[in-house]
Amino acid sequence: MADVAARAGVSLKTVSRVINGEPRVAPATAAAVAQAVRELGFRSNHAAASLASGRGVASIGLLIGAVDDPFYARLASGVEQVARAHRHTVLISSTEEDPELERDAALGLAARQVDGMIMVPCSPDQDYLTPDIAAGLAVVFVDRPPHGLDADCVLSDNRAGAHAGTAQLLAGGYRRIGFVGNDTTVYTSAERLAGFLAAHADVGLAVDEHLISLGPRTVIEAEAATRALLARPDPPQAIFAQNGPMTMGAWRAVHALGAPVGLVGFDDFALADVLEPPVDVVAQDPVELGRQATTLLFDRLADGDRPTRHITLPTHLLTRS
Amino acid sequence: MADVAARAGVSLKTVSRVINGEPRVAPATAAAVAQAVRELGFRSNHAAASLASGRGVASIGLLIGAVDDPFYARLASGVEQVARAHRHTVLISSTEEDPELERDAALGLAARQVDGMIMVPCSPDQDYLTPDIAAGLAVVFVDRPPHGLDADCVLSDNRAGAHAGTAQLLAGGYRRIGFVGNDTTVYTSAERLAGFLAAHADVGLAVDEHLISLGPRTVIEAEAATRALLARPDPPQAIFAQNGPMTMGAWRAVHALGAPVGLVGFDDFALADVLEPPVDVVAQDPVELGRQATTLLFDRLADGDRPTRHITLPTHLLTRS
DNA sequence: CTGAAAGCGCTTACAG
DNA sequence: CTGAAAGCGCTTACAG
């Protein structure tokens, strides 16, 4: 910047003014500075500017499980929409559902002085963020609640959604229903299993625990798990699948078998309506989850002392069969 | 940091040493500093550290069209894999295929002092990056080549892929084939259309330009465009669809019509194999595109003077029908 | 093993 | 409309 000032024959302050588009600079001066900038290939040092001004860098961090999971991708899209309206950049990192990576990525974003952070937690405890929050970092949790600290949070009504989806199968006359999902250390999986069980309890039906398959994380694993259920001597008559990949896997297994097995899934997915048979799903709105979480984040950035808010969004049963 | 030093009764330099895990600090001293850090909730200022040290922040930027497009999401996943191995954070931004946003996002990432940047360009010209590249920014283009500057680049063989896909339809006896794709300002669309036309020329067949539908960008738009083609007095007997969303839209239109219309798409997508009828596709490998682009980026970071490299990855025709 | 001094490249009051 | 001075919070040689 000193070089630019020297070349343009002005002071540092004037260069700074021109670069930042401040008013009250004589047009001729501004032109001279602009030319010097061009000739010297000058790039303002963001780190120095941010240090000197004390201002943030107008960015927020987003921590999701994986960029290539459509649920997270749509959530990220909602975050970007709101962040863009607030003229903030979104820096996305993935945790791969690994607590170590979550911690590294979260602290890494915090160290990078993001103004705030939105995260889908996967570690058993996020109290490692407490010092940063105390030092002014705004954090909002989405899809899953925080553990070890209180913070703003946006969730879907997983339990009610799973309850409604299961109830629909029960109303269809199915009595032996399998559950295919992640293990219950994943908050949403635990909640959806609870809704599944509650729907059975409501009609006084016992659940055969052998029909509950916890663990699969991918389409392929879910397909294998569903196959295993259907191969039992007392197979389920229907499957409730706990998220998009689980539902695709379950549908594949059912489809391959060719037998009439009922299926309801949690989360809508592309082409679910045109499969043969089509798939009924409990749809949540991932874009809206992202939007609301980001709105909470900017609210908190505006007022760090406001009480924490916990929002729960409804789900909708889409009947297609 | 001064507060920490005062509380621990040491100098700034010693605090710095402890924070950065430098060796040669007496255990007792280190413990005292660590405690002061804890008590004061101290967070090192990344901007200041990076300014003082002159070192980068160990991050790379990734500019894609949209986070919620599965093609870009998988590409991003490939980028993350390699970046993680190099212990770099990936900061993802989307351009929404808007040249203005691309420019803002790219310059924004550059200003944030990322070490390098991988981008899917959508603007007619990226020479706005020239000053930054001259000032040391490493940039690699992926999926589409740069315009207005020479740079490392990784592409799929779009033309050969589209040629093979079209040839398969022609070999199936189809003589009137429609093309559904983005407008040809999008590089990949133009290349794939060229392959489509070349395959026709190879067998001495003229293409009815009324069957070429350029413009749709979403599944819904592609479905409408395909419906329009099929509603013509002289409709196509088959459709070549130019990417994943186009193929899903075309499939929906064909499926709704119920008539036997051939279909080959560019890009594989989830459930393409279990639709009724299943969809043949020309598959590229978006994860590998991301991986290779990131490898080029780190190669360039290691040696800024190496000649630019342009890599083209093959595509594979997946026959399912 | 530890510290005092200088400086990274900007911006902020303040003065004119 | 323009500038001189101080300082943001760290790290880098250098010295001891």
For range A63-85, the mean pLDDT? 94
Q: What is the pLDDT of residue A55?
A: 65
CB contact A274 to B (< 8 Å): yes
Distance CA A233, CA A229 (A): 9
Q: Are residues A217 and A297 in the same domain?
A: no
Give the mean model confidence (pLDDT) for residues A257-281: 96
The answer to whether A57 contacts B112, with C-beta atoms less than 8 Å apart, is: yes
Burial category of B15 from C-beta neighbours within 10 Å (exposed 0-12, middle 13-18, buried 19 and up):
buried
- Output A123 or B25, whichever has higher pLDDT: A123
Strands B310-313, B89-94: pairing kind:
unpaired
A213: tokens are 């398959």
The per-residue pLDDT for A56 is 59
**Pairwise CB contact (< 8 Å): B73 & A77:** no
- Structurally, chain B folds into a number of domains equal to 3
In B81-123, which ranges are E strands? Answer: 89-94, 116-119
B76 touches chain A (CB under 8 A): yes
Please report whether residue A120 resides in a domain: yes
Q: Go through chain A and tell me how many residues it has.
A: 321
For residues B11 and B52, membership in a common domain is answered with no
Statement to judge: residues A20 and A100 lie in one domain: no
Those nucleotides of strand C lying less than 7 Å from any protein Cβ are 1-13
Q: Which residues of B touch A42 (CB under 8 A)?
A: 131
* Shared-domain flag, residues B293 and B144: yes
Contact yes or no for B113 and A274 at CB 8 A: no
Instruction: Supply the pTM of this predicted model.
Output: 0.87
Model confidence band, residue B74 (pLDDT cutoffs 50, 70, 90): very high
A43 and B248 within 8 Å at the Cβ level: the answer is no
Whichever domain contains A241, its CATH number is 3.40.50.2300
Gap from A13 CA to D5 C1', Å:
12
The mean pLDDT value for B299-315 works out to: 93
- In a shared domain, residues B268 and B171: yes
Q: What is the pLDDT of residue A98?
A: 93
pLDDT at A57 over 70: no
DSSP letters along B279-303, please? -EEEE--HHHHHHHHHHHHHHHHH-
What tokens appear for B265 in the block?
């798409």
Q: Does the beta carbon of A93 lie under 8 angstroms from any beta carbon of chain B? A: yes
Q: Which A-chain residues 103-132 have CB contacts (< 8 A) with chain B?
A: 105, 108-113, 131-132
Say yes or no: B117 and B134 in one domain.
yes
Higher pLDDT, B113 or B35: B35
Give the whole-angstrom CA distance, residue B68 versus residue A72: 8
User: Residue B35: pLDDT above 90?
Assistant: no
Q: How confident is the model at residue A18 (pLDDT cuts 50, 70, 90)?
A: confident
Which of chain A's residues have a Cβ under 8 Å away from the Cβ of B80?
A: 67, 94
Q: Is residue A319 part of a domain?
A: no
Nucleotide D4, nearest residue via CA and C1': A11
Q: B252 to chain A nearest CA, in Å?
A: 8
Of A68-77, A95-104, A119-128, A232-241, the poorest mean pLDDT is in A95-104
Distance A92 CA to C7 C1' (A): 34
A38 and A75, same structural domain?
A: no
Residue A320 lies in a domain: no
Q: Is B320 part of any domain? A: no
B202 CA to chain A: closest CA distance, Å? 35
D13 C1' to A92 CA distance, Å: 37
Residue B321 lies in a domain: no
Whether pLDDT at A112 is above 80: no
Residue A87 has pLDDT above 90, yes or no: no
- Domain shared by A132 and A195, yes or no: no
Phi and psi at A118, nearest 5°, equal -115, 130
- Asked whether residue B319 is assigned to any structural domain, the reply reads no
DSSP B169: H
Structure tokens at B188: 């990949």
Q: Please tell me whether residues B278 and B164 are part of one structural domain.
A: yes
Give residue B40's pLDDT: 82
Residue B315 near chain A (CB below 8 Å): no
Is A248 close to B255, i.e. CB distance below 8 A? no
**Domain assignment of residue A232, given as a range:** 158-283
pLDDT digits (tens, 9 = 90+) for B157-211: 999 999 999 999 999 999 999 999 999 999 999 999 999 999 999 999 999 999 9
Is B318 among the domain residues? no
- Report pLDDT digits (tens) over B210-265: 999 999 999 999 999 999 999 999 999 999 999 999 999 999 999 999 989 999 99
Tokens of B21: 């895990």
- Mutation pick from A68, A127, A252, A274 vs chain B, by most beta carbons of B within 10 Å, is A68
Q: How confident is the model at residue B58 (pLDDT cuts 50, 70, 90)?
A: confident
b/e string for A216-243 if b means 16 or more Cβ within 10 A?
A: bbebebbbbbbbebbeeeebbbbbbbbb
B148-156 mean pLDDT: 96
Contacts of B274 (CB under 8 A, 6+ apart): A251, A252, A255, A275
CB B95 within 8 A of CB B120: yes
The reply to whether B274 falls in a domain is yes
* B82 interfacial to chain A (CB closer than 8 Å): no
If asked whether residues A166 and A278 sit together in one domain, one would say: yes
Gap from A203 CA to chain B (nearest CA, Å): 35
Residues of B in contact with A223 (CB under 8 A): none
Residue B136 sits in the same domain as residue B165: no
Contact A219 B270 (CB under 8 A): yes
**Position with higher pLDDT, B297 vs B52:** B297
Concatenating the DSSP letter of every residue in A12-40 gives HHHHHHHHTT-S---HHHHHHHHHHHHHH
Mean pLDDT in residue range B268-276? 96
Q: Are residues B107 and B213 in the same domain?
A: no
B106 pLDDT exceeds 70?
yes
**Distance, in angstroms, between A171 CA and closest chain B CA?**
28
How many A×B Cβ pairs under 8 Å?
A: 126
Collect all residues of chain B within an 8 Å Cβ-Cβ radius of residue A115: none
